[in-house]
Amino acid sequence: MIVRQRTNWLKMLFIWRGSVLKKIVVQLGVILIFSLLIYFFKGKIFDYKVHLNPTIFTLIGLALAIFMGFCNSASYDRFWEGRKLWGLLVIETRSFTRQILSMVNDPSPGAREEKEKIIKMVSAFCWSLNDQLREKSGTEHLTRLLSPEHAEQLKDKKFIPSIILGFIADWLNEQQQKGNIDTIVMTSMDHQLNQFSNISGGCERIYNTPLPFAYSVLLHRTVYLYCFWLPFGLVDSLGWMMPLIVLLISYTFIALDAIIQEIGEPFGEEENDLALNSMCRTIEYSIFEQAGMPQGELKKPDSYFID
């Protein structure tokens, strides 16, 4: 995800990074050349004058704008739901860490190391969920945060976050059997694990259920057909200004179509997707800080930040 500081209106007109313009510049170039050809030939195709009333494009454009608004809302709902799930994960990991540190009364000499191991597992859960949503192996973070025995058990596994939650649950059960956790605290901490599982399942639901393909096809076809037919309807009324007006209208519709496709898959690694790496680093930094464990540098966005 790209994060930029708000700048003045003039610079906003020429910002490239974070804009979808670089994705659609070829399409806009083709439409501009096509519009120039239509202007040059006065709207004729093989000596046949194509008569299209501009009113038709007003009606079609209105319907297209309403449909695009619906698709944009659906895509942004997916994006925002993903952000809320990861925001909830930040809260739950801090709460769970606090419970481990203050409510697990283990008097043994190695209790501190055991708690730190579980806190590292919490961070590993977040990184593994990130990697699962982005279809990465994630071995770097697993080997860094987990013991060799646990890392070995995760080899060739597909749903690693769930297995890590199982490791944490086994530890909690062991602590309860030792008498270090009472039933009420165990119920509370089990609820926290259920929250982790719900967050993971919610993210998987978004990842595995994209917007209906029929919507994407219909929107994509209609936008491009509209943009390529538009020059015929405006060439007589606008004259030499027609290619520029068509380019502006095409940019609006095609860019919005590209944005809908991009934010509809919020867990990717494009510039406008969620900054999962940054959120994982924030979670790890904050829970390690709670436990007094060494933590890495917490990166903050400056002028722009891509994650």
Give the pLDDT confidence score for residue 39 in this predicted structure.
86
- Under-50 pLDDT residues of the chain: 302-304
How far is the C-alpha of 263 from the C-alpha of 210, rounded, in Å? 11
How far is the C-alpha of 219 from the C-alpha of 24, rounded, in Å? 15
- From the centroid of its chain, how far is CA 272? 7
**Residue in this structure with the two tokens 């609006």, named with its chain if needed:** 252
Q: Could you count the other beta carbons within 10 Å of the beta carbon of residue 298?
A: 12
Give the pLDDT confidence score for residue 299 in this predicted structure.
62
> What predicted TM-score, i.e. pTM, was given to this entire model?
0.86
Contact between 178 and 184 under an 8 Å Cβ cutoff? The reply is no
Strand partners, 259: none
Contacts of residue 59, defined as CB under 8 A and 6 or more positions apart, other chains included, come to none
Give the pLDDT confidence score for residue 20 in this predicted structure.
82
Full 3-state SS string of the chain: CEEECCCCHHHHHCCCCCCCHHHHHHHHHHHHHHHHHHHHCCCEECCEECCCCHHHHHHHHHHHHHHHHHHHHHHHHHHHHHHHHHHHHHHHHHHHHHHHHHHCCCCCCCHHHHHHHHHHHHHHHHHHHHHHHCCCCCHHHHHHHCCHHHHHHCCCCCCHHHHHHHHHHHHHHHHHHCCCCCHHHHHHHHHHHHHHHHHHHHHHHHHHCCCCHHHHHHHHHHHHHHHHHHHHHHHHHHHHHHHHHHHHHHHHHHHHHHHHHHHCCCCCCCCCCCCHHHHHHHHHHHHHHHCCCCCCCCCCCCCEEEC
Contact between 238 and 43 under an 8 Å Cβ cutoff? The reply is no
- From the centroid of its chain, how far is CA 176? 38
Give the pLDDT confidence score for residue 269 in this predicted structure.
86
